[in-house]
A = this chain, B = another copy of it.
Amino acid sequence: MANIRDVAERAGAGLGTVSRVINNSGYVSAEARLRIEKAMEELEFTPNQMARNLGRQSNNLVAIIVPNISHPFFGDYIKHAEMELYLRGYKTVVCDTMQRSDREQEFLDMLRRRAVDGIILSTHALEDEEYRKAKGPIVSMEQRLGRGIPMVCSDHPKGGRLAAQRLEERGCRYVAQFTEAGVVKPANARYVAFAEYLEARKVTVYEIPTNYNRLDFANYLEAANKLFNKQPQIDGFFGVDMAACAVLKVAHQRGIHVPEKLKVVGYDGSMITEIGPQNITAVVQPIREMAQHSVAAVVDLIENRPRLRDETILDVYLREGDTA
């Protein structure tokens, strides 16, 4: 039996346009209307189905919950995910939790009473049990929350190794990395892989714990200043893009030349690694693919399509820059 998506595909039109034709509301060009009506006829798309589909159409909402909307990684992620959801006929509700568990809980409640159809979570302030109890379409970025909740993340161990390899090839002997204290998640695997690779090659690795709950730049600047005060001998650094920017800024203030005296590798490869005077050498997470896979997963769950896998691990690569 044909559905509204089939009609849209056959007519080469957007779901919104097809919905406007069915609804007889809003502007549709005469030419598009003809194509859509023809497609409906050919697919024997019936009014009953229309009514049913329309019922759904009025509330096709997916919530994306992130710790910080204005963080470059999440900004890029939301941009791509919104487009992917749009292409599938869904609207995007955003929520910036600032790590507050009550905001996550509120969206789980909305999912229960079907005020949203699905949730993509990039934060995990509640007990895993809470997410499973919600029994609705939930997809997790970066955290295993249990069976039935697909997870999408990057190949973080590879990311850590790529950064380590580059710093070692460039002759670094004393390297530092910022880690996130107190959070257990797949992304942490990069810290382990990074340290293991370098320590096996007799490179000294300093781990500086930073506060994951504070994703702001001031937090990273503070950590960078502490780092240079305590370990002035460091010649290599690895951290998320904002941390890399902070280290470059403090190095500039102290007259430490990059890449001559200090090599820096960022993690994420978001927009901020390319807008400074130097392009930051960075391990790139495929943000767009992450958006595509997580959106596909949540829409599959919403539309009751069986999924083969609960985990999607995406490839990363090292992008050349001026800093390592």
8 A Cβ contacts from A69-112 to B: 69-72, 75-76, 78-79, 82-83, 86, 91-96, 102-103, 105-106, 108-110, 112
Given A17-B102, A276-B249, A277-B248, A70:B69 Cβ within 8 A: no
Contact status B59-A70, CB under 8 Å: no
Residues of A in contact with B, size category? 35 or more
Given contacts A16-B102, A23-B109, A253-B277, 16 further A-B pairs with CB under 8 A are A20-B109, A26-B106, A58-B113, A58-B115, A70-B72, A72-B75, A79-B96, A82-B94, A82-B96, A83-B96, A91-B95, A94-B94, A217-B271, A217-B274, A249-B277, A275-B276
Among A216-267, those with CB < 8 Å from B are 217, 242, 245-246, 248-249, 252-253
Residues of A at the B interface (CB closer than 8 Å) are 14, 16-17, 20, 23, 25-27, 58-59, 61, 63, 68-72, 75-76, 78-79, 82-83, 86, 91-96, 102-103, 105-106, 108-110, 112-113, 115, 217, 242, 245-246, 248-249, 252-253, 271-272, 274-278
CB neighbours of A271 from chain B (8 A): 70, 217
Query: A86: which B residues are within 8 A, CB to CB?
Result: 95, 103
Residues of B within 8 A of A102 (CB): 14, 16-17, 27
A274: nearest chain-B partner, CB-CB: B217
Contact (Cβ within 8 A) A112 B25: yes
Contact assessment for B75 and A70 in the assembled complex, using a CB-CB cutoff below 8 Å? yes
Chain B residues with Cβ below 8 Å from A217 are: 271, 274-275
Q: Which of B93, B108, B272, B274 contacts A26 (CB 8 A)?
A: B108
Taking chain A's interface residues, is the majority helix, strand, or loop, or is none over half, making it mixed? helix
Query: By the criterion CB–CB under 8 Å, are B59 and A115 in contact?
Result: yes
B82:A75 contact, CB within 8 angstroms:
no
Q: What residues on B are CB-neighbors of A249 within 8 Å?
A: 275-277
Q: Are A26 and B105 in touch, CB under 8 angstroms?
A: yes
What B residues does A108 contact at CB under 8 A?
Answer: 26
29 contacts between A and B (CB under 8 A): A16-B103, A16-B106, A25-B109, A26-B106, A26-B109, A26-B112, A27-B102, A58-B115, A61-B93, A63-B91, A69-B78, A70-B75, A72-B75, A83-B96, A86-B95, A91-B110, A92-B93, A92-B95, A93-B93, A217-B275, A245-B275, A245-B276, A246-B275, A248-B277, A249-B277, A252-B277, A253-B277, A276-B277, A277-B277
A16 to B14, CA, bound (A): 35
- Chain B contacts for A79, CB-based, 8 A: 68-70, 96
Assembly CA distance A78 to B78 (angstroms): 11
Q: How far, in angstroms, from A122 to B105 measured CA to CA in the complex? A: 30
Cβ of A36 to closest chain B Cβ, rounded Å? 14
A26 surroundings in chain B (CB, below 8 A): 105-106, 108-109, 112
A95–B23 alpha-carbon span in the complex (Å) = 21
A320 to B252, CA, bound (A): 18
* Contact partners of A69 in chain B: CB under 8 A: 75, 78-79, 82
Interface centre among A58, A59, A69, A112 (most CB of B within 10 A): A69
Q: How far is the CB of A20 from chain B (nearest CB, A)?
A: 6
